[in-house]
Structure 1
């Protein structure tokens, strides 16, 4: 078997091209990458419901999950939540469109949520 020097394919005795083994590993890594984006939504009015928040983001694509963070003692909203969207492009459009938008009288802030345990970006 010989490897084509200008690409990631090798060829044998026949004329059939097959992906080189390392190229297969690369393709598997790409397939495993997450394609969804989790968004942090801050400055929500305390009376904004999960359904209202989800409806605002659904205008830009499908919603994987929508969660308001609630106070354990009072059961009331803490004024922020998370929205997960399966398509990164839809999530970016939602950020661009909804960051600074008004929902229930509050000017909300939307950005990509940081991974748990990640150092905050300055």
Structure 2
């Protein structure tokens, strides 16, 4: 069972989570989410327990529990939603320059 663990202290490590959740069963995987730019923790993780019963035991014991000065949020992880094709993009600089050379849509029409 995959669990979402939120409101983590930024100093929390994967080993800390493995030790904490290991009290309630076998931890199969710990994935602490890190910021790509800074290398710091983003304050949440996913912990996979080997069975649903162990996952429920961990949720019951750890949800809203204070760890490292913060009240944890622990619940069953939701499946990741499919991402759509994304936004429209930024356009090209060349196109924007060409467009700025044309008449503004706010100028008076020529007579």
TM-score, structure 1 normalization? 0.65
3-state DSSP of counterpart to 2:18? helix
Q: Confirm or deny that 1:101 pairs with 2:101.
A: no
The aligned counterpart of 1:30 is none
User: Shift of residue 113 of structure 1?
Assistant: 0.3
User: Shift of residue 104 of structure 1?
Assistant: 1.2
1 or 2 for the larger relative contact order (CA 8 Å, sep ≥6)? 2
3-state DSSP of counterpart to 1:68? strand
Number of equivalenced pairs: 82
User: Shift of residue 116 of structure 1?
Assistant: 1.5
Q: Which runs of 4+ in 1 moved over 6 A?
A: none
Take 1:76 and 1:85, find their aligned partners in 2: how far apart are those partners? 24
> Computing the radius of gyration over CA atoms, which structure comes out larger, 1 or 2?
2
Gapped runs of 5+ residues in structure 1? 1-36
Task: Tell me how large the CA RMSD over aligned residues is.
Answer: 1.0
Pairing partner for 2:34 from 67, 70, 80: 70
Q: Confirm or deny that 1:92 pairs with 2:62.
A: no
Gapped runs of 5+ residues in structure 2? 83-111
User: Could you list the per-position Cα deviations for residues 24-83 of structure 1 after superposition, in whole angstroms to 9, with x for gaps in the alignment?
Assistant: xxxxxxxxxxxxx10000000001111111111000000010011000000000000000
Take 1:70 and 1:40, find their aligned partners in 2: how far apart are those partners? 15
TM-score, structure 2 normalization? 0.71
